[in-house]
Amino acid sequence: MKHLIQRIGTGLLTATLLVSAKSQTLTIDKAIEITLEHSPDVDISRFDFKRAIERSKFQEGYYLPSLDLGATAGRQGMEFKGQDTVNGTMLVGSLSASQLIYDFGKTSGRISAADAEANALEASMNQFISNKILLVKARYYDVLKMKSFIRVNKKNIKLQEGQLRRATRYYESGIKTIIDVSDAKVRLTQAQLQLNNLEYELKLRRAILEQTMGYVPYKGNYILYHKKLDLPNVSRHLPRVSTSLSQLEGFAYEHRYELKSSEFLVESSKSLVESEEGGYLPTLSLRGDYTAQDIDKNFVATTPQRQWQAGVDMTWNLFSGNQTDASVQEAKISSLKAASQVDDVRLLIKRQVIESSLGVQRTKDAVTLSESISKASHQKFIQAQKRYENDLSDYIELQEAQQGYINSLAELVNAYYDYYIALAQLDFAVGR
């Protein structure tokens, strides 16, 4: 019984280790989710927005009352002509309050400018996230592309191994020469070397993906989810894009955060103009002060124990050495610059939408044509094999046909994943 329990315990431990060692599947959506949760540069963009929120709250504080409490304790001396010097202790407490009534747009302009700037930084944060999502998608597809290159290269190794066996058999039968065997060995070794390089490149691409994500998911124990390619028949599995260019462009103008950020900066600059122009006019505020003093009897006749005052203050800067004029003109120039940047961003978005839309069409055509080339190259390779077997062609023709077939598969893989990267770029361009 004891041995049975030990065997059961060992079996359970082994099963647990196998389950824990099983690799997790990382989908592209999960990769994006992890990136937005853990990436340091995404956090940096969020912190910029949070700082802007606090600056906005700071400006809003000018509308609220200001209270100041002060206290002084010490000794005081008074000397009058022809009289003895009077010395004594004192304890003074004061309370001051002020409330802004109206300043002709100086404060309201600063508050509106801060609010608009916060909205602009929020849009910039979302635009940064869009950039990050595009980069993660591209790096994800780069890894899948490299995995498919490895699959193609393994196919090449199998073909080279078959060719080496065939050349050896023909040589031993006296049909072919030793040069065919030597060449087959060289090409097999070259294919194995290329596979080794591709496997190192795959590790590098994974590291680049993890760097882009800002995090190593599942402690590195993961595999990327992908559908196995049915080479060379891949074109029928491509997702379609049927939206017209004008619709894509209109959608981008409504949803690109970069454009929204520029428009908020225009609002902010206009509010700053309003605030600076308020410098030409007075500021009205309520003010009140209350002071209580605990003093020696020597000062009773000259110092009040309680005093207060309240009133309306008006301050009006009549001349500031043209500083107000300069501040107003600078704010107006900044407003014109912000408006020009909006036009520049709209042109940039238009170009990116056109460029990415053409990129989708171009890569789709590349997949279709590469697929046709791959199928034709395969037929050529089969024919070259038959010609070589029947002694109608030499070994060089066979190897050229075989290499052409492998190269066509690699080009098809490259075009296939470039199409998905182009789709990601289109989603980014239109703000999806």
Task: Give residue limits of the domains in the chain.
Answer: 23-73+87-430
CA–CA separation, 331 vs 345, rounded Å? Answer: 21
The confidence score (pLDDT) of residue 16 equals: 43
Walking along the chain (432 residues) 10 residues at a time, the average pLDDT comes out as 47 43 87 92 85 85 87 81 74 88 85 87 90 95 96 94 89 85 92 96 96 92 88 88 90 92 90 86 88 76 80 84 85 90 94 95 95 95 88 84 94 96 95 88
The confidence score (pLDDT) of residue 202 equals: 96
CA–CA separation, 351 vs 346, rounded Å? Answer: 9
Contact 134, 264 (CB under 8 A): no
Task: Give the residue carrying structure tokens 């002509």.
Answer: 81
CA–CA separation, 138 vs 213, rounded Å? Answer: 12
CA–CA separation, 39 vs 210, rounded Å? Answer: 10
Token pair for 162: 């078959």
CA–CA separation, 271 vs 283, rounded Å? Answer: 18
CATH architecture of 23-73+87-430: Up-down Bundle (1.20)
The confidence score (pLDDT) of residue 13 equals: 44
Q: How far is CA 153 from the centre of its chain?
A: 34
Specify the length of the chain in residues. Answer: 432
CA–CA separation, 278 vs 284, rounded Å? Answer: 12
The confidence score (pLDDT) of residue 20 equals: 45
Contact 274, 112 (CB under 8 A): yes
The 8-class DSSP code of residue 116 comes to H
The 8-class DSSP code of residue 315 comes to E
Contact 259, 253 (CB under 8 A): yes
Number of helices (H), then strands (E), belonging to the chain: the values are: 9, 6
Roughly what angle, to the nearest 10 degrees, separates helices 395-430 and 245-255?
A: 50
CA–CA separation, 23 vs 206, rounded Å? Answer: 15
Task: Give the residue carrying structure tokens 């699959």.
Answer: 151
Q: How far is CA 258 from the centre of its chain?
A: 13
DSSP H/E element including 291:
strand 283-295
Sign, CA dihedral 51-53-56-62, equals negative
Listed residue (306, 289, 298, 287) closest to 92, CA to CA? 306
Task: Report the 3 state secondary structure along 358-405.
Answer: HHHHHHHHHHHHHHHHHHHHHHHHHHHHHHHHCCCCCHHHHHHHHHHH
Q: Rounded to 5 degrees, what angle do the CA atoms 167, 171, 172 make? A: 120
Q: Is the peptide bond before 232 cis (omega within 30 degrees of 0)?
A: yes
Neighbours of 115 (CB within 10 A): 20
One-letter amino acid of 20: S
Contact 87, 76 (CB under 8 A): yes
Pairing of strands 66-78, 222-224: unpaired
Token pair for 64: 């609220």
Sign, CA dihedral 185-186-191-192, equals positive
CA–CA separation, 106 vs 109, rounded Å? Answer: 5
The confidence score (pLDDT) of residue 23 equals: 82
